[in-house]
A and B are shown apart, each in its own frame.
Chain A
Amino acid sequence: MSYLLAHPLRIAALTGAHLALVAAALACALAIALPLGLLLARRERASRAVLALLGAIYTIPSLALLALLVEALGLGPAPIFVALVAYAQFVLVRNVITAIRTVDPAQRDAARGMGMSPLQQIARIEVPLAMPIMLGGVRIAAVAMVALATLGGYVGAGGLGSLIFMGFTLHHADEIIAGSIAVCSLAIAIDVVLRLAERTVRAN
Chain B
Amino acid sequence: MSGASIRLTDVRARYPNAGEAAIDGISLDVHPGEFVVLVGPSGCGKSTLLRTVNRLVPLEHGRIELDGVDTATLDPVAMRRSIGYAIQAVGLFTHMSVAENVGVVPSLLHWDRPRIDARVDEMLELVRLDPARYRRRRPSELSGGEAQRVGVARALAAEPRALLMDEPFGALDSIVRRTLQRELHDIVRATQTTTLFVTHDIREAQRLADRIVVMRSGRIESPQSDFSRELFSDE
Contacts and interface: CB of A to CB of B under 8 A. Distances in A.
A129 interface: yes
B104 interface: yes
A115 B105 contact: yes
Q: Looking at A106, A108, A110, which has the most chain B CB atoms within 10 Å of its CB?
A: A110
A184 B97 CA distance: 41
B177 interface: no
Interface residues of A, number: 19
Contacts of B108: 114-116, 120
B92 interface: yes
B85 A106 contact: no
Contact of A115 (B79, B90, B95): B79
B71 to A, nearest CB: 13
B194 interface: no
Given A115-B77, A115-B79, A110 B105 contact: no
Given A115-B80, A116-B108, A110 B95 contact: no
Contacts of A111: 91, 93
Contacts of B82: 115
Contacts of A120: 108
Interface of A: 104-117, 120, 125, 128-129, 204
Given A110-B90, A114-B108, 4 more contacts: A109-B56, A109-B89, A113-B56, A115-B78
Interface of B: 51, 54, 56, 77-83, 85, 87, 89-95, 104-105, 108, 154-155, 164
17 contacts: A105-B89, A107-B91, A108-B91, A109-B91, A110-B91, A110-B93, A111-B91, A113-B51, A113-B87, A114-B80, A114-B105, A114-B108, A115-B78, A115-B80, A115-B82, A129-B93, A129-B94
